[in-house]
Amino acid sequence: MPYQLVFTDNYMRRAERFIRRHPELRNQYAKTLALLELNPHHPSLRLHALAGPLSGMHSVSINLSYRITLELLIQDQQIIPINVGDHDTVY
């Protein structure tokens, strides 16, 4: 069963800013979101739980340098992206 991505207004602003700054990543970003919706546990996403102040959240990789942090609500089949950017930005 596919998951549903739920985009908040705050995330959409961050995503638009990210794409403006990195237009070369538009296709990789879109592919990451599509794969996340189909199978968040796909190995290429490198899904992992976060610790410390971001405990309870997860992260997936767009590429080796850029990540998307998210809330993964398994019970409701919903994924809520929180932030997108390089490692220092999202953590």
Q: Poorest-confidence range of 34-38, 57-61, 71-75, 80-84?
A: 71-75
Q: Which structure tokens are listed for 56?
A: 């309870």
User: Looking at the domain assignment, is residue 42 inside a domain?
Assistant: yes
- Looking at the structure of the chain, the number of domains it has is 1
Please report, to the nearest 10 degrees, the dihedral formed by the alpha carbons of residues 64, 51, 84, 76 taken in order: 120
Q: Which residues constitute the domain of residue 40?
A: 4-74
pTM of the model: 0.89
68 C-beta neighbours (distance < 10 Å), count? 25
Residues 6 or more apart in contact with residue 63 via CB below 8 angstroms? 25, 28
In a domain, 83, yes or no: no
Burial class (CB in 10 A: 0-12, 13-18, 19+), 86: middle
The pLDDT tens digits of the residues spanning 19-69 come to 999 999 999 999 999 999 999 999 999 999 999 988 989 999 999 999 999
Is residue 9 domain-resident? yes
- Of the candidates 30, 38, 35, 36, the one whose C-alpha atom is nearest the C-alpha of residue 70 is 36
Give domain status of residue 82, yes or no.
no
CATH number at residue 37: 3.30.2310
